[in-house]
């Protein structure tokens, strides 16, 4: 499977959420070369592209309802999964898989992406999946 989606355990308490980098994310990425933090405003979309070589582990933090859209390579079926924003979600993305995420709720949500390579705009290829 080129895209893997799983819930991330919340180790928080009365003070709030607390998440550690999931072991499967660290094993998937190997050496982390880049970390990217981003928010997605209500109705906003990020993505609609794929990376030629880069593996990504993206953790979507609890917040607003959102949806993830992806393919597993050129000329493959576009898939979609919806989330209520009540838990953190880990998405592992293999090279060549296009992906996009949309904020379907009424408040911003945040994501943290760890990547196997530094960002290089020459290796990011547009491909709409939503």
What does the chain come to in residues?
130
By three-state DSSP, how is residue 28 classified? helix
What share of the chain in percent tops pLDDT 90?
88
45-69 exposure pattern, b = at least 16 Cβ within 10 A, e = fewer: ebbbebbeebbbbbbbbbbbbbbbb
**Cα 102 to Cα 47: distance, rounded to the nearest angstrom:** 9
Q: Where in the chain are the domains?
A: 3-11+24-126
Instruction: Encode pLDDT of 57-68 as tens digits.
Output: 999 999 999 999
Task: Determine the topology of domain 3-11+24-126 in CATH.
Answer: Jelly Rolls (2.60.120)
Instruction: Encode pLDDT of 66-120 as tens digits.
Output: 999 999 999 999 999 999 999 999 999 999 999 999 999 999 999 999 999 999 9
Where helices occur in the chain by DSSP H, the ranges are 23-29
Total-model pTM: 0.92
pLDDT score at 111: 96
In whole angstroms, how far apart are CA 34 and each of 15, 17, 73, 84? 29, 24, 23, 28
């Amino acid at each position: 499977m080129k895209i893997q989606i799983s819930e991330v355990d919340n180790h928080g308490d009365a003070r709030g959420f607390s998440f550690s980098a999931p072991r499967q994310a660290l094993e998937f990425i190997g050496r982390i070369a880049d970390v990217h933090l981003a928010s997605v405003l209500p109705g906003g979309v990020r993505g609609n592209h794929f990376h030629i070589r880069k593996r990504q582990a993206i953790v979507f933090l609890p917040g607003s309802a959102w949806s993830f859209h992806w393919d597993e390579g050129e000329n493959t079926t576009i898939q979609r999964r919806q989330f209520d924003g009540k838990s953190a979600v880990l998405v592992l993305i293999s090279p060549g898989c296009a992906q996009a995420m949309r904020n379907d709720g009424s408040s911003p949500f945040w994501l943290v992406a760890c990547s196997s390579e530094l960002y290089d705009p020459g290796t990011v290829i547009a491909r709409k999946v939503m």
